[in-house]
Amino acid sequence: MLQIFWKPFLTNLVSCLMSMLRNSNPLLPLRLGVLMFRIMILLILVCIKTMLIWLIWGEIMMRVMIIN
């Protein structure tokens, strides 16, 4: 369920970052590119962390159901 939410958002963010890196626009400061890159990495890490939490929670719940 989380993948449905995060995948389009991350895809748009990555395409935006790639277009910024391909088109070296002198009007666009380098700091903004670095900021976008950091935001993208942070969002990817948050997404991975959330998915891992749900996977671990699902594994725990399956073991509890097997024991019961």
What pLDDT is stored for residue 2 in this prediction? 55
The stretch 10-27 carries a mean pLDDT of 68
Region 46-64: what's the mean pLDDT? 86
Is the pTM here over 0.75, yes or no? no
Q: Which residues contact 10 (CB under 8 A, 6 or more apart)?
A: 40, 43, 44, 47
Q: Is the pLDDT of residue 28 over 70?
A: no
Residue bearing tokens 């790639």: 18
Domain range annotation of the chain: 2-67
